[in-house]
Structure 1
Amino acid sequence: MGRGRNRWIGVTAAVLSAALVYGLYMLQRQQLVHQETVAVLAPKRFVAAGEKLERTDLEWIRMPAGAYSSDMVTELDAASGKETAIPLGRGEAIRDWKLNEHQLQPLSGQSTFQIPKDYVRSVSNGIRAGDRVLLYGSGEGNESRRVFGEPVVVASVKSSANVEVDGLEQSHLLSMAENNKDGMYAARRDANAMIEYVNLNLTEEQWLAIDRLCKDGSVKLVIAYSPESYGGVAAEEGLRNE
C-alpha cells in the first residue's frame, strides 16, 4: 500500500511539475510575442472612401515590431467616429493620414452643393467650415419648419470675394485641429468678411428637397448654427468631458 501510494504521489508531482513548467513556458512565449509585436487598429470589413468608422467596425491586430510605423493608429478614439479619406481593406492597419478628421469632404452618397443666394433668407454669421448646421424653411403664408431632422455639414463659407470666411488671427480649422476652444470661439467672433456663399454636403435627395422647397421663391432657408449640433472633434471631446 505504501509503495503504491508513493508511486501515485510521485506521478502526481511529476505531472504538476510538468504543467508548471509548460505554463511558465507559455507565459514567457506570450510575453515574448507581445514584446515583438504592436497592437494596431484595423477595419473588420472593407470600408469605402467617405464612410464613417464606428467602434463596431474596428478590431485589434498585432503587427511585428519591425513592420510597425508611427502613423499606424493605436488608440480607439483616434479612429472611431472619423471618416475615411481613401478606401480601407479588411484587416488593413489603419494609418492616420487615411482618415478625414474634420469631415469637410462629402460622405459616400453625398456631394457638395452651393446653396443659391436667392434660396437663403438668413445665415448665422458664426458658422464656419466643418460645423454642422440646422436648416429651416421660412416664408410668408407658410408655416416655418425644420427641413431635415438631422444637421448637415458645412463644407465651406465664402465671402463675396470667394475667400473662406474665417478668423483674422487664427484659422477656425487650425484651432479645431489643436483642440483650442478659445481659438475656435475667437474665430467665430472675429471674422474677416461677411458670409455670401454657403456650401453644404448633402445627399441628392436632400438637395432635391431644398430645390423643390425654395425654387418658386415662396419659402427660403434659415441656416442656423447650434453648438449642440456641432460635429467637430473638439466639441465632441468637450461634451464627453462635461
Structure 2
Amino acid sequence: QHLNRLSANLALLSDVSMAVLGGSLKRRERISARLGDVLSQIFLASAVLKRYDDEGRQEADLPLVHWGVQDAMYQAEQAIDDLLANFPNRFVAGALRAVIFPTGRHHLAPSDKLDHKVAKILQVPSATRSRIGRGQYLAPTPHNPVGLLEEALLDVMAADPIHQKICKQLGKNLPFTRLDELAKQALAGGIIDNSEAAILVKAEESRLRSINVDDFEPEELATQPVKLPEKHRKPEAA
C-alpha cells in the first residue's frame, strides 16, 4: 500500500511537472532528477520485496527487508519533499504538498536498533549472510581485499573465546589488541595451549593486515625534478 501510494504520487508529480513546466522540465535537471530518485527508490523497495518472496520469505531476513524498504521509502519521500520545496511555481507546489503530505511525511529513516540488527547479520556467519553474499569471490588471495577481510573476520571470531578465557583466568577485561603478545604471556602462564596460541597469533596477523595502510618514506613522496626533452627546453639567454 505504501509503495502504491508513492507510485501514485510520482505519477501525479510527473504529470503536473510536465503540464506546468513543459519543455523547460528538460532544462531543470534537478527537478527531473528528483523525479528519477523517487522512481529509483520505488524500484529498490520492490526489488527487496521480490527477493524476499523469491527466497522463501525467510524470517531471519526480515531485518534486512525492513531496513531496505524503510530506507527506500524514506529516501523517496525526501526526494518528493525536496522537489516540492524547489518547485518553480510556488502555488502549485503548495497545492501538491497539501495533496501528497496532508499531515506531513509518513516515513522515518531506519532506526538505530534496526541498524544494529542488520550489522549483526553482516558480522556473524549465517545462512542469511551467505545468501546475500552469494556469488562474491571470497578466496583470501593477496590481491583480493574482500576475501582477506572475510578471513580476518573468521580468524577474529575464532580467537574471541580464547581471549575471553584468558580474561576470565586473569580476572581482567583485556583489550582485544596485541593478541600475539597476549598469546606468549598466556602460554607461558599455562592458561592456553600451543594450538590456542597459534589461533591468537593468526588473528592478530589478520587484524593488522586488514587495518594497516601503506606507508612511504618522506623521500618517496617528495617532488622530483622533471627532465624535459631537448626540444622542449627553453633557449638560455645570451
Structure in which a larger fraction of residues adopt helix: 2
Query: Which one scores higher on RCO, CA 8 angstroms, separation ≥ 6?
Result: 1
Length-normalised TM-score, structure 2: 0.25
